[in-house]
Each structure stands twice: as structure tokens, then as C-alpha cells.
Amino acid sequence: MAPPDEGTWFMGSDKDGTVTSYTSPCSQSTGTHQYTITIYALAETPASLPQESSLDVSFNVLLAALESVAELGRTTLTFNDVTN
């Protein structure tokens, strides 16, 4: 994956809110944990999002931005993470 500031796209913070990047889910205990990722196709980039990568883009900021534009489609991917 390209660094978050290279290209015509941008990213928000990781799940810990400490850096601009993507981090995968991290199970906090052993066993099988199920995760679901939702992928959205939007009619346009939400105007409420910053124009560059930013730690200010939290999950709640993203959800509000998604509600401000037309959604063309959506799909989900569910997977199991198994930790010994």
C-alpha cells in the first residue's frame, strides 16, 4: 500500500487514533473472532472530509460524511481471525 499522502486519495487515523494509516483488527484474546468490513461505492467524495490525510477522520466523522452523499452500492466481507 502506498503511503497515505501519495496519490489522489487520503486516509484517516488508524484504529488507535495515533497515526494516519490503516491497521487491521487486533483480537485482544485467543480464539476465533469474527470481523466484518464494509466497502462503499459513493457518487462523490464527501465535502465534509479533509482534502488530505488527517488524524481528525475518526469512525464517527466518516459515518457522518457517508450520510452526506449518495451511496451507489455497498458490500460486506466477513472473516474469522483465529489466534492461538
* pLDDT score for 2: 53
Domain boundaries, the chain: 1-84
Q: How confident is the model at residue 74 (pLDDT cuts 50, 70, 90)?
A: very high
Tell whether pTM > 0.85.
no
**Spatial distance between the Cα atoms of 48 and 54, rounded to a whole number of angstroms:** 12
* Digit-coded pLDDT (tens) for 11-68: 677 777 777 777 667 777 888 888 898 989 999 989 998 888 788 888 899 899 999 9
Alpha carbon 72 to its chain centroid, in Å, reads: 18
The pLDDT, as a whole number, for residue 6 is 61
Q: What is the pLDDT of residue 33?
A: 86
What DSSP string runs through the chain? ---TTSSS----B-TTSSSBS------SSSEEEEEEEEEEEESS--TTS-SS--TT--HHHHHHHHTTS-EEEEEEEEEEEEE-
